[in-house]
Amino acid sequence: MKKIAIAMLFAGSTLLMADGAAAFAKCAGCHGANGEKAALGKSAIITGEDAAVTVEKLNGYKAGTLNQYGMGGVMKGQVATLDDAAIKELADYIASLKK
């Protein structure tokens, strides 16, 4: 029974990672395939950024209260359709990226 629960847990986290990876596809154009680029030459590198920090930033952009590097307007449009679960999945995916 424990093996089944562990397998289900692993499968669930893999699914979340896949959802985060799918959401990141929209980010890769500016941030790079592994978050290794300074978006539009302005932002910090996001590869491996702590998930909680990313969630806070994405929520700030979504609310229109964050304008880091002058990218508030662009980022607000990028995250406008993401709900809390999608933001968490995306943040977890970004945190998993290796430098």
**pLDDT (tens digit per residue) in 6-65:** 333 344 444 445 689 999 999 999 999 999 999 999 999 999 999 999 999 999 999 999
Residue 70 has pLDDT above 90, yes or no: yes
What's the token pair of residue 57? 């930033």
Q: Supply the pLDDT for residue 99.
A: 75
Q: Is the dihedral of CA 59, 96, 43, 75 positive or negative?
A: negative
In the numeric block, the tokens 């499968």 are attached to 11
Q: Which residues, including other chains, have CB under 8 Å from residue 43's CB and lie 6 or more apart?
A: 30, 31, 68, 69, 71
Q: Are 23 and 85 in contact (CB under 8 A)?
A: no
State the Cα–Cα distance between residues 86 and 73, nearest whole angstrom: 20
DSSP for residue 48 = T
Q: Supply the pLDDT for residue 55.
A: 98
All domains of the chain in start order, with CATH: 2-96 (1.10.760.10)
pLDDT in tens, 71-93: 999 999 999 999 999 999 999 99
